[in-house]
A and B are shown apart, each in its own frame.
Chain A
Amino acid sequence: MNRILRKSAALAGFSTAVLAVAPSCTKDLDRTPTYDLTTESVYKDFAGYQAVAAKVYSGFAVTGPNGPAATTGDVLGIDQGASDYIRQLWSAQELTTDEAVVAWNTDPGVQDWHTMNWTSNGTPIQALYSRILYEITLCNGFLAEATDAKIASRGLSASETQQVQAFRSEVRFLRALAYYHALDLFGNVPFPTEADQIGGTTPPRRITRADLFAYLETELKALETTLMAPTKNQYGRADQGAAWMLLARLYLNAKTYTGTARYADCATYAKKVIDSNAYGLASAYTNLFRADNNTRATDATGKPEIIFPIVSDGKLIQSYGGTTFLVHGAVAGTADANWKPSRYGIAEGWGGLRTTRRLYELFPDTAADSRGKFQTGGQTLDIASLTTFAQGYVPIKFRNITSTGVAGSDPVFVDTDYPMFRLADAYLMYAEAALNGGGDQNLAVTYVNLVRRRAFKNTNAGDVTLSTLTGDPYFMLNERSRELFWEGTRRTDLIRFDRFVGNSASAIAYNWPWKGGAINGTTVPAYRALFPIPVSDLSVNPNLVQNPGY
């Protein structure tokens, strides 16, 4: 009996132990990541703020936290490499126009850019839209943690506080930039701000194109005073020059966005950039698109032409988008007598990007105008098949070679920075605004000739007069194409000049090969001036309304 009692006691002890162990284990259910950080641990010091600010910037340059070769990036539902911000933005602005065609027929939806039959389910449209909204969300996440009250609570030093406040202004600018792209491409979009709870379930409200225009105007003007003075910030970071450029572009296209032209405002802000005297036209046009354009795209006095770049680096900032896409895309896939990838500083080309006859014909004398460089050997001028790389001349613009001819740091990932805004654009915007009654027309001639003299090897061989500018309503459109082709403004420019889509006389008068999917170009309905809101977002955000026509 004693034994039994002992055993029972043992069992009772055992049961008690079980009951004691069990509840104490429930705290084990609160597992938290070991190396990954939480919002609190990220924003605990200046380094954390800086690291997230770097994330916001890198949102334009890299596709995900795990590098270009990882299976997934920040934006899902598309190949990671193709999900790059610049690659998608560029495709929407260039492949839809006469400036660029792409041979690839194996990427989902890429040919739809040319044929203009994109759908609200299309992969590239969804990826572009998602990338822009993702970038805006990154900005909002940072801004929510960078209020004065929150900064104060993190125990930063005075100088660190100042630096975080500087980042805050820059992040607001980057958000404005992304919103500008949303406004330009999609028009009426979701409008999340730092007040929206991230990770919550309430979808953001919708904003109309006109209201978004007003918001951007207010926001950018507010930033004018808080951003650093032109070129006073670290290279790669936004300053007042960047905000002025964005304002100028916003005003330049105000009629498209709101119905009301704002050319005088455009001229004002373009002039601010010019008159800041912080920037200078690079002494050689080609230096703007080379592997060392972060240091060598300057005028004789060392003033940079690039006002705001998206930084690229062959080892540290790798993606299959951006300039890596632009350099590789415009080089044949296999080396032969016409194509030596090493001339471009890369190991191999991707054989994709060419242009149409329209761009080539803008350069009546490609020897005189240093901007009109094309690879013509082995290529045909006309394009019978979009998917054959050998059809269509290939502009020689972006290269992974320095101004002294040395290859970039990596044969796959390119060092060349993408010029989001540069001084020549300011000159041309001022000129166009002035010609539309917003400024001094003689100054416009001066500015246009400044840009053209650089192109014509610092001679006046290409100079124009006021009558040239006023005589041809499309001179500025053409000049922008000559100067800024493949820099991501063509679709917007064509829309502004009413030469993109629709049935107007002006639009019908202008066609290009493969517009609308027809070899000689065809009329495309006017509603395609705006892209559709992807149905994936319409499905989950009841506040949204599809753009007309889709």
Chain B
Amino acid sequence: MEQPYLAKLRFLLFLLFGLATSLGSAWAQAGGGTVTGRVTDTKNEGIPGVTVVIEGTTLGSSTDIEGNYNISNVPAGPHTVVISFVGYTTVRQPVTVAAGKTITVATQQLAENATALGEAVVVGYGTQRKQDVTGALTTVTSKEFVQGQITNPEQLVQGKVAGVQISTGGGAPGAATTIRIRGGSSLNASNDPLIVIDGVPVDNSNASGVSNPLSLINPNDIETFTVLKDASATAIYGSRASNGVILITTKRGVIGEQLTVNVSQNTSVARRYNAVPVLSADDFRAAVQRVDPTKASLLGSANTNWQDQIFRSAWSFDNNVSVAGAVGKLPFRASIGNLEQQGILKTNRLIRNTGSLSLNPVLLDNHLRVNLNVKGSWIDNNFADAGAIGAAAAFDPTQPVTSGSPAYGGYFEYLQSAGGVPQGNVPRNPVALLALRRDRSSVKRSIGNLQLDYKLHFLPDLHANVNVGYDITRADGSNYVDVNAASTYFNTPRFVNPLTANLRGGESRRYSQQRDNKLLELYLNYSKQFGTNSRLELLAGYSYQDFVRVEPAYATYLGTSPDTVTRVLANRNPFRTQYTILSYYGRANLTLFDRYIFTGTLRNDASSRFPYTNRNALFPAASFAWRIKDEAFLKDNKTLSELKLRLGYGITGQQDVAGAAGDYPYIQRYVLNVPSAQYIFGNQPVNPYSPLGFNSNLKWEQTTTYNAGLDIGFLDGRLTASADVYYRKTKDLLAVIPVALGINYTNQLVSNVGTLENKGVELNIAASLIKQEGFDWTVNLNGTYNVNRITSLGPQVENFTGIRNNNGGTVSGGTGTTLFNYQVGNQATSYYVFQQVYGTNGKPLEDVYVDRNGDGIINDNDRYQYKQAAPLVLLGFSSNLNYKHVFASFSLRGNLGNYVYNNINSNYGAYQGIIGSNTFLTNVAQDAQNTNFTQNSQNRFSSDYYIQNASFLRMDNATIGYNVGKVFSSKANLRLTGAVQNVFVITKYTGLDPEIPNGIDNNVYPRPRTYTLGLNLTL
């Protein structure tokens, strides 16, 4: 670990122990009588939010997330503690309180009496009883997480939450994930949700040297995932909440809990189960003979399956140890994890070491609640050149892997003459691309916070909460290409004549990045209980967040011999960027008679990314819930166990334009050109300053959400369902659009323009099909329908067809091909393509397209908006079955209405690979045998023929396990599991995998099928 956060860690520990020693004496103190205790469910897990009152008084409290409660200033004498919670049987416990003493009431187990609705859920800045929730949110706890080999936290809830689409970018260890909650609300601003881990909003933007920033969190440490979906739930996070909020809480120790040691070990093997459909060596030979026999002389004599050559079976080992419990009054949990995961692409590997510590003592006579969380991780990545995947699909299968000559690392390459220099513009040996490159990174990240929640002595209903947090990343990486590699053969130093030099090739680059993000949150929380079933809670707070990213400059070195490198390229420019968000927020929750619940929030955000005049924005939200079930007319209904109506409205904001315009989009900036973009006056090179485009009128994008939801439960909660309908309208979209030329240093500028709407329905059904002693079976089904539409893009003249883009991807093959188009009235991810004409035999005719505007010529004006990359329907289904010692579960996930551009077929699906060159051959996709296309053309790359229905149903996971029970002389409990991930995919899509978040299928790292054997030992 590096110095800065070791120091920080030491400081925090010092602070904590200092507090503990100096205040230790204050634990047993006087001042009225105090009643404390804990409430658990039948599984001994704490129930938060339980109402605890001293009968006959107005004194009361509700339990915290661990189920602990604390009522002070109770008059001396005998009392009855009444513990009640919706869905559970009420418990009455007599106690005798003595002045100045703390009475600890024996832990009370509440039995469920009707429904399981009573859980507390994490909401922004606190927890709420589920029954009091007015917004649209879904919580998934560790019990419901996806099992098996889970590398990244978000995989734990893949397919579990209605309205949430989680798509991994491919099968690489730690691959980036796209998370979309209720579709994207922005065009060019970020569509990623805000992720808050233990109260620290983390930096979810792409870091150097790591493909997925969340992969730095150990999924084993996570206790719950809460997804806040509508504005009434997210508005308290105002500025960054437009795309939803994911709250992650990690596991903790609990006072009074026995020391528990948990050891888990997972061993996995991952295998590729399908291949990109290209021709085999023999089929390819036949195709060459058929299509262009003159090229037969270029065929080799080998039979190489290049895809088999670059992939392997990959092993992974995941070991975790955690210790949780309490030392005296200091509850703690500590964990360490070690993951070594191979990728199925050769040379690809990820090693992750993680450690976490959480301490949450309660001090000062239970008035000061301390939460200290420190998480650290260290990832070592060995990246593999993913270009090898596309190269393996295209490389001539009749050529051998090795050449028999030592040149170019011993690998076969296309040369200008035998024993000569490599050809340019030819495919490179895919195996050599992997073997002759070393691309490594080492990334360290620590996230931590110290949260102090102080309940005022003279006004216990008022809490003051301070949360100080940090999120620090140090990334360091290097990229080294062997001097023998043909791919870098023409990299030569400036002073060497490139065509006569005998020293050449290779490359060595280094990069590093530092991220220092700080958080300060201060809030006051006042809650007042009126009687036993009415409550008022007020929250007012302040938040300060600061994000700094620094990337030093490094030189690039080019090789001159296998052992030495020569510095040849000057430093690129160092980089540092920073932004700050400052917010004030308030929330009021009013619960009347446990039936009518009102929530109002207001947040004011200011972002340094906007000019002074537009910096502040106010985000209001209001919601209402009516627990109809508790009305007199339904109270005694035995069939219906829950009925709740929720209505919400709110506005959230978006300021994350960093991807499109950086952190200073409104400031006129000049950047120093890189050394290869200079100009020369006379003999004197001058490095230019380039002015950049800027928008001095930039302001917040705002999304207004309307949400209506109904929660319903039957038969004591055996069957529950929630349905939500929503409408979201985003205005002042942050979009990169054409600007009037001549008055800015660009032709396209990030601007506030137009509107976009998302409409959708979500349904979640949970059923307990069997519920008996030792035998239960629950299933969960969720479904989402979401459709978005661009409703305005600012002023447009006739013939303006829209704003072309590639939805964040790149098309292989056609230079500058764009497939998508923002157009009013269409979906944001709608394709913009030519309409293919088919022959009478049903096969597409080469380069024949429908003249849609009927002007007699085929040009750009004949393109049309066709289908979309974003799914219209998301489906999730999971099942959990326990029978005595055996448990079994599976989860299924489906997308409907998502279309994928099959770039493998468009790029290789013509005999261009055979007829296109006189010196080499490239393999062709099997689709070419169907179409008999011969040529690559821009129009063909844009044909709707390649837009395929990629609706799918995937079994993400199937797990079977056995609870061995007590082992080691009853000292430990052992559990064994076997899991398969990516069990099957049902789809009509003809490519490798239909799940392509940006809709352009090329070079995708195949998602393997993974078999995991796990054991879990609890001491």
Contacts of A108 in B (CB 8 A): 814-818, 860, 938
Interface flag for B669 (CB, 8 Å): yes
Interface flag for B464 (CB, 8 Å): yes
Contacts of A31 in B (CB 8 A): 578-580, 608, 663-664
A39 and B492 in contact, given A51-B689, A58-B679 (Cβ under 8 angstroms):
no
Among listed B333-341, B680-688, B705-713, B991-999, interface-contacting one:
B680-688
Interface flag for A160 (CB, 8 Å): no
Instruction: Return B464 CB to nearest CB of chain A, in Å.
Output: 6
Q: Is the CB of A29 within 8 A of B544?
A: no
Contacts of B582 in A (CB 8 A): 25-26, 28-29
Instruction: Return B647 CB to nearest CB of chain A, in Å.
Output: 34
Interface flag for B275 (CB, 8 Å): no
A345 and B938 in contact, given A54-B686, A78-B816, A311-B679 (Cβ under 8 angstroms):
no
List residues of A (2-28) whose CB comes within 8 Å of B's CBs.
Answer: 3-4, 7-8, 11, 14-15, 18, 21-22, 25-26, 28
Q: Is the CB of A407 within 8 A of B498?
A: yes
| B674 nearest CB neighbor, chain A only | A67
- Compute how far the CA of A123 lies from the CA of B498 in the bound complex, rounded to whole angstroms: 35
Instruction: Return B360 CB to nearest CB of chain A, in Å.
Output: 21
Q: Is the CB of A106 within 8 A of B941?
A: yes
Instruction: Return A70 CB to nearest CB of chain B, in Å.
Output: 8
Q: Is the CB of B746 within 8 A of A52?
A: no
List residues of B (232-266) whose CB comes within 8 Å of A's CBs.
Answer: none
List residues of B (482-528) whose CB comes within 8 Å of A's CBs.
Answer: 489-490, 492, 494, 497-500, 520, 522
List residues of A (338-356) whose CB comes within 8 Å of B's CBs.
Answer: 340-342, 345-351
Instruction: Return B1011 CB to nearest CB of chain A, in Å.
Output: 39
Instruction: Return B154 CB to nearest CB of chain A, in Å.
Output: 26
Q: Is the CB of A55 within 8 A of B815?
A: no
Interface flag for A109 (CB, 8 Å): yes
Contacts of A22 in B (CB 8 A): 542, 544
Q: Is the CB of B937 within 8 A of A106?
A: yes
Q: Is the CB of B938 within 8 A of A105?
A: yes
Interface flag for A409 (CB, 8 Å): yes
A197-211 vs B, CB cutoff 8 Å, 1 = contact: the mask equals 111111110000000
A137 interface neighbour in B31, B454, B742, B813, Cβ under 8 Å? B742
A536 and B464 in contact, given A106-B814, A137-B745 (Cβ under 8 angstroms):
no
Q: Is the CB of A11 within 8 A of B498?
A: no
| Size category, A interface | 35 or more
Contacts of A50 in B (CB 8 A): 686
Interface flag for B405 (CB, 8 Å): no
Interface flag for A87 (CB, 8 Å): no
Instruction: Return B497 CB to nearest CB of chain A, in Å.
Output: 6
Contacts of B489 in A (CB 8 A): 347
Q: Is the CB of B936 within 8 A of A105?
A: yes
Contacts of A202 in B (CB 8 A): 743
List residues of A (155-195) whose CB comes within 8 Å of B's CBs.
Answer: 190-192
Instruction: Return B1014 CB to nearest CB of chain A, in Å.
Output: 42
Q: Is the CB of A66 within 8 A of B741?
A: no
Instruction: Return B183 CB to nearest CB of chain A, in Å.
Output: 25
- Compute how far the CA of A42 lies from the CA of B689 in the bound complex, rounded to whole angstroms: 8
Interface flag for B675 (CB, 8 Å): yes
Interface flag for B418 (CB, 8 Å): no
Contacts of B29 in A (CB 8 A): 3
Interface flag for B797 (CB, 8 Å): yes
A70-85 vs B, CB cutoff 8 Å, 1 = contact: the mask equals 0000111111011000
Q: Is the CB of A237 within 8 A of B689?
A: no
Interface flag for B736 (CB, 8 Å): yes
Interface flag for A318 (CB, 8 Å): yes
Q: Is the CB of A38 within 8 A of B669?
A: yes
Interface flag for B744 (CB, 8 Å): yes
- Compute how far the CA of A549 lies from the CA of B500 in the bound complex, rounded to whole angstroms: 55
Interface flag for B301 (CB, 8 Å): no
B678 interface neighbour in A37, A317, A350, Cβ under 8 Å? A317
Contacts of B859 in A (CB 8 A): 112, 115, 117-119, 122
Q: Is the CB of B490 within 8 A of A111?
A: no
Instruction: Return B689 CB to nearest CB of chain A, in Å.
Output: 4
Contacts of B814 in A (CB 8 A): 106-108
Q: Is the CB of B608 within 8 A of A65?
A: no
- Compute how far the CA of A537 lies from the CA of B579 in the bound complex, rounded to whole angstroms: 32
A76 and B748 in contact, given A54-B679, A65-B677, A199-B696 (Cβ under 8 angstroms):
yes
| A348 nearest CB neighbor, chain B only | B424
Q: Is the CB of B673 within 8 A of A58?
A: yes
Q: Is the CB of B425 within 8 A of A333?
A: yes
Contacts of B682 in A (CB 8 A): 234-237
Q: Is the CB of B677 within 8 A of A62?
A: yes
Interface flag for A336 (CB, 8 Å): yes
Q: Is the CB of A198 within 8 A of B670?
A: no
B side interface size, CB within 8 A: 113
Instruction: Return B802 CB to nearest CB of chain A, in Å.
Output: 9
Q: Is the CB of A55 within 8 A of B746?
A: no
B813-836 vs A, CB cutoff 8 Å, 1 = contact: the mask equals 111111000000000000000000
Interface flag for B747 (CB, 8 Å): yes
Interface flag for B93 (CB, 8 Å): no
Q: Is the CB of B815 within 8 A of A348?
A: no
List residues of A (405-432) whose CB comes within 8 Å of B's CBs.
Answer: 406-413
- Compute how far the CA of A204 lies from the CA of B739 in the bound complex, rounded to whole angstroms: 11
- Compute how far the CA of A3 lies from the CA of B680 in the bound complex, rounded to whole angstroms: 76
Contacts of A365 in B (CB 8 A): none
List residues of A (432-463) whose CB comes within 8 Å of B's CBs.
Answer: none
Interface flag for A61 (CB, 8 Å): yes
Q: Is the CB of A411 within 8 A of B425?
A: no
Q: Is the CB of A348 within 8 A of B425?
A: yes
Instruction: Return A510 CB to nearest CB of chain B, in Å.
Output: 22
A198 and B744 in contact, given A345-B499, A540-B739 (Cβ under 8 angstroms):
yes
Interface flag for A380 (CB, 8 Å): no
Contacts of A372 in B (CB 8 A): none
A535 and B799 in contact, given A35-B576, A37-B670, A54-B688 (Cβ under 8 angstroms):
yes
Q: Is the CB of A123 within 8 A of B681?
A: no
A539 and B671 in contact, given A108-B818, A199-B743, A335-B416 (Cβ under 8 angstroms):
no
- Compute how far the CA of A406 lies from the CA of B499 in the bound complex, rounded to whole angstroms: 9
Q: Is the CB of B667 within 8 A of A48?
A: no
List residues of B (780-820) whose CB comes within 8 Å of A's CBs.
Answer: 794-797, 799-801, 804, 813-818
A350 and B742 in contact, given A54-B687, A55-B688, A237-B681 (Cβ under 8 angstroms):
no
| B544 nearest CB neighbor, chain A only | A25
Contacts of B669 in A (CB 8 A): 33, 36-38
| A201 nearest CB neighbor, chain B only | B697
Interface flag for A110 (CB, 8 Å): yes
A32 interface neighbour in B667, B697, B747, Cβ under 8 Å? B667
B743 interface neighbour in A33, A137, A408, Cβ under 8 Å? A137
Query: Which residue among B582, B670, B696, B935 has the maximum number of chain A CB atoms within 10 Å of its CB?
Result: B670
Among listed B158-166, B387-395, B717-725, B912-920, interface-contacting one:
B912-920
Q: Is the CB of A539 within 8 A of B498?
A: no
- Compute how far the CA of A15 lies from the CA of B523 in the bound complex, rounded to whole angstroms: 10
Contacts of B694 in A (CB 8 A): 199
A130 interface neighbour in B498, B741, B919, Cβ under 8 Å? B741
Contacts of A342 in B (CB 8 A): 416, 499
- Compute how far the CA of A3 lies from the CA of B72 in the bound complex, rounded to whole angstroms: 15
Q: Is the CB of A28 within 8 A of B688?
A: no
A107 and B815 in contact, given A77-B747, A336-B918 (Cβ under 8 angstroms):
yes
Can you name 24 A-B residue pairings with CB atoms under 8 Å? A22-B542, A28-B608, A29-B615, A32-B664, A48-B689, A51-B686, A64-B677, A67-B673, A105-B938, A106-B815, A115-B857, A117-B859, A123-B860, A133-B742, A134-B741, A137-B743, A191-B742, A316-B676, A316-B680, A334-B426, A407-B499, A411-B492, A411-B499, A540-B737
6 tightest CB-CB pairs across the interface, nearest first?
A: A348-B424, A79-B816, A192-B742, A234-B682, A55-B688, A203-B740
- Other 10 A-B pairs with CB < 8 A, given A348-B424, A409-B494: A22-B542, A34-B577, A65-B692, A68-B677, A79-B816, A107-B938, A108-B816, A109-B938, A138-B745, A237-B681
